[in-house]
Copies of this chain bind each other. A is one copy, B any other.
């Protein structure tokens, strides 16, 4: 099952040349989930040949414009391109107020249902579930209410060892129960315990998106051992005071969270416009957590595969 992340925007509040405001696209088993939607997100989707029409779920972390100013345009484009299937939007309650006003003043009535689910920024909770994944909020600590999002594959069923099927002549109709944990009883009454028949499933994969936040160690338990952690790193440690003032994190702080949470890979982003070159941020983070990569526009990260670094 595909589980991959494409970076659409890596910039913090003000864009710089070739760095766009925050947006990321998750492809989970060919279903597309958009996370934040900074200005020009729809233009970035075009650039990378990613079809906006395939996005069914959009998650917005908070009401700073660099995380949602691309949303009204994207919603309008989907409408104009004839979308009829529902779009599910998750974000701060205030978001819908702005979307509604842009629609009212352009005298637009969307052709597709836009289903809005306001997100509670006060405590973590599951906000989405389908057959394959769940999405939980991660509570951030920013100047205004802000949530991250944890995308986790559901626990997979164990596989049955092929040779055991032959050895014990297990009939097809018994397999579903065994996958669910049942033992198997032979015709002679001998019971074969489930653990002897099954192979543990590949561990469920998870991606955590930690949006704008003052470094927040209490998220560690929630994001423990995720395969891929995106954590904002607006500044370097030399700007720690500024990071604290503006409720942002430094590259070293993001890496310390990754280390403590024992994640497999860290991606840092939301870089301040002051940094023309990003390699110093990478160096700072890798000194703490070597399996770190930079969010760069167009980069694709596999969730749950070995780090390429």
Give A contacts to B, CB under 8 Å. 13-17, 20-21, 39-40, 42-43, 46-47, 63-66, 69-70, 72-73, 76-77, 80-81, 92, 94, 97-98, 101-102, 105-107, 143-144
Q: When the two chains form the complex, which single residue of B47, B72, B94, B143 contacts A65, counting CB atoms closer than 8 Å? A: B72
Q: Is the CB of A14 within 8 A of B101?
A: no
Q: Which residues of B contact A64 (CB under 8 A)?
A: 106
Q: Is the CB of A46 within 8 A of B77?
A: no
Q: Which residues of B contact A102 (CB under 8 A)?
A: 65, 69, 98
Q: Which residues of B contact A65 (CB under 8 A)?
A: 72-73, 76, 102, 106
Q: When the two chains form the complex, which single residue of B17, B77, B98, B143 contacts A15, counting CB atoms closer than 8 Å? A: B77
Tell me the minimal C-beta distance from A248 to chain B in angstroms. Answer: 13
Q: Which residues of B contact A40 (CB under 8 A)?
A: 39-40, 43
Q: Is the CB of B107 within 8 A of A97?
A: no
Tell me the minimal C-beta distance from A49 to chain B in angstroms. Answer: 9
Question: Which partner residue on chain B sits nearest A49 by CB separation?
Answer: B17
| A70 to B105 Cα, complex, angstroms | 16
Q: Is the CB of B107 within 8 A of A14?
A: no
Q: When the two chains form the complex, which single residue of B16, B81, B94 contacts A46, counting CB atoms closer than 8 Å? A: B16
Q: Which residues of B contact A17 (CB under 8 A)?
A: 46-47
Q: Which residues of B contact A73 (CB under 8 A)?
A: 15, 21, 39, 65-66, 69
Q: When the two chains form the complex, which single residue of B13, B94, B107 contacts A80, counting CB atoms closer than 8 Å? A: B13
| A102 to B66 Cα, complex, angstroms | 11
Q: Is the CB of A144 within 8 A of B43?
A: no
Given A65-B106, A69-B72, 15 more pairs with CB closer than 8 A: A14-B81, A15-B43, A17-B47, A21-B73, A39-B40, A40-B40, A63-B105, A65-B76, A69-B102, A94-B105, A97-B105, A98-B102, A101-B101, A107-B143, A107-B144
Q: Which residues of B contact A107 (CB under 8 A)?
A: 143-144
| A225 to B218 Cα, complex, angstroms | 68
Q: When the two chains form the complex, which single residue of B14, B39, B80, B144 contacts A39, counting CB atoms closer than 8 Å? A: B39
Q: Is the CB of B46 within 8 A of A15?
A: yes
Given A43-B40, A65-B72, A69-B72, verify A144-B106 contact (CB < 8 Å): yes
Q: Which residues of B contact A92 (CB under 8 A)?
A: 105
Q: Which residues of B contact A77 (CB under 8 A)?
A: 13-15
Given A43-B39, A73-B21, verify A63-B98 contact (CB < 8 Å): no
